[in-house]
Structure 1
């Protein structure tokens, strides 16, 4: 083992001391750098935290605004629902009024119709020409069609068929007249028919010259009953522009 001399020991101690000093300096420098880095990172963290706080504040602000908007929307929705309820109420009232108006209109139409059917009256003559005409004789009973119709209130008489149809149940008055020129072989006979029933007849016969006959009756008719004048088989009916052969009727009162 080599023995160290004093100068060598002092040199080693100086080197060791220098190393320790350098180490201490390095440590101090490292600590300063570390502290600086830590402070820098802390500053960055504080900066980020401040940014986060700022963003959080903005989010809270936006949330508050959204809550405010939601509250306003809820308020508006409540108002809309209220208005909708009011509109539904008004719609129901309008529909109710419309139903009532339709009901009243139906009633008015019904009354109008009843009023119209209560206005029933007609008069008709056998021919429309100014000349004269003999109708018949025919081998069968024949319905007379009175084509000249100066009055037909209610249109209950049909000039195409010669038939009157009762539009309403009630009491009706009818009159019929027949004219003829006597030829010593044919009479003039016309009968009023209700549905299929012969009611009253108007009859006349003479040797020559003009002759006429008439009759009248009041009948209780149901809706749809028909009344017409029938020329009796083998008989004549005469008419001209003066209208001697006629058929008339009117509603006395409804039942």
Structure 2
């Protein structure tokens, strides 16, 4: 309730109470006598009742506002549920109608031999074209074991690179050089613990290797016990360091093993560390 209205109402009630209790004094101008004879206790009771009514009205007003908010929230929720319900109903009807039309069309195609067999011929032709694309042949210019023409085949990603992280000394003939730190090992065909690369897929591989030494040291690349290439490092003067290496293309079959080993020298030395990676072995599948 507005404060101005409340005060105006309170003044009116007080005036009415005074006029009702002492009408003669008010109309004859005896205001002083009326104020002295006014029942103060009754007046206070009326004020208390008025304040209680005001508090009740304020409390009820707050409850009304709260309930209006609840009603509005529930109304919004009902509208949302109705929209969802109608949307689901619409989608269900559309889906059922679509399935019905598909079944109807399929039934009509089967019943009509011309349409059915024409569609079947198109599907068979498409399948035939797809199969023929898988068997496209490409020219093999090296005239190798597969002749002038061979089927195109997919190439798996095979590549590795590793280096030696410590100095090897003395190195005797037949010592396998294990490049123990792997930089790259796509295909997981190189084993840093044995130093052996096991061919995962038949094809042509590019292999390259290097070594460093202050002594006369010879190494070679071996494929299943067969020497593929050689390299050496031989310092021209005591205390000097020399490097050697080689790169080669080979055709290898799946399951064959490739590794580096020393030969010729009874006390060779191979130098390499984690910081100075002089001795390395790398390779990858070309095709």
The TM-score normalised by the length of structure 2 is 0.43
Structure possessing the higher relative contact order (Cα contacts under 8 Å, 6 or more residues apart) = 1
Higher CA-based Rg: 1
TM-score, normalization by structure 1: 0.49
